[in-house]
Amino acid sequence: MYILLLIIIIIIIIIIIIIIIIIIITSGTFTSLVFSTTGGMAEECRRYHSRQAEPLAIKKGEDYSTTVAWVRSKVSFAILRAET
């Protein structure tokens, strides 16, 4: 029981260290994409999609709503591929 708890704590510490290293090396941030099973998204996830879609819509001269839908579908299929 205690060994399992210790292993979980060590894994969490390793993940935190990896995230800190990524932030330091790339001078960036880490945004977790949180989705619900019914299709809802967390606020950070919505911001991510908006930041991806806005420059694409301007570059391609398309409507913003069409581009956001395209980005959402691309991300959804990428998640489906990663889970299988």
Which residues share a beta bridge with 35?
Answer: 41
Token pair belonging to 14: 């390793």
In terms of domains, do 77 and 54 share one?
Answer: yes
> Residue 24: its pLDDT value, please?
79
- Rounded CA gap, 21 and 19, in Å? 5
* Beta carbons of 28 and 22 less than 8 angstroms apart: yes
* Beta carbons of 68 and 50 less than 8 angstroms apart: yes
Quick: pLDDT tens for 29-77: 777 788 887 878 888 888 889 989 999 999 999 999 999 999 999 988 8
Quick: pLDDT tens for 13-27: 999 888 888 777 777
Domain count within the chain: 2
In terms of domains, do 36 and 8 share one?
Answer: no
pTM comes to 0.59
In terms of domains, do 39 and 75 share one?
Answer: yes
Residue 7 is part of which domain span? 1-30
> Residue 64: its pLDDT value, please?
94
